[in-house]
């Protein structure tokens, strides 16, 4: 469980970012948006203050680790 860095409320995890006009998943890419995809982003939302925390979905995955080196 994650707690909000701003107000220490329990966050709602397993959320995803979407683009309003299209349904493309949001991901992290090397250098800029045209770069090689590193991994999928997931987010947690604080229901108290609205703070949103982003995280790579599979940080322990070997393929993701290789792309970060």
- Positions that interact with Zn ion (CB under 5 A): 4, 6-7, 9, 46, 48-49, 51
Shortest distance (Å) from residue 42 CB to Zn ion: 18
Shortest distance (Å) from residue 14 CB to Zn ion: 17
* Smaller CB separation from Zn ion, 40 or 51: 51
Report in angstroms the alpha-carbon separations of 43 from 7, 19, 25, 66, 69.
17, 14, 12, 22, 23
Shortest distance (Å) from residue 30 CB to Zn ion: 31
CA atoms within 13 A on the CB side of 12: 10
């Amino acid at each position: 469980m994650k707690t909000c860095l701003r107000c220490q409320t329990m966050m709602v995890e397993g959320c995803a970012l979407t683009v309003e006009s299209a349904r493309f998943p949001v991901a992290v890419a090397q250098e800029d948006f045209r770069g090689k995809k590193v991994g999928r982003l997931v987010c947690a939302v604080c229901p108290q203050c609205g703070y949103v925390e982003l995280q790579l979905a599979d940080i322990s995955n070997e393929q993701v680790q290789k792309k970060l080196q």
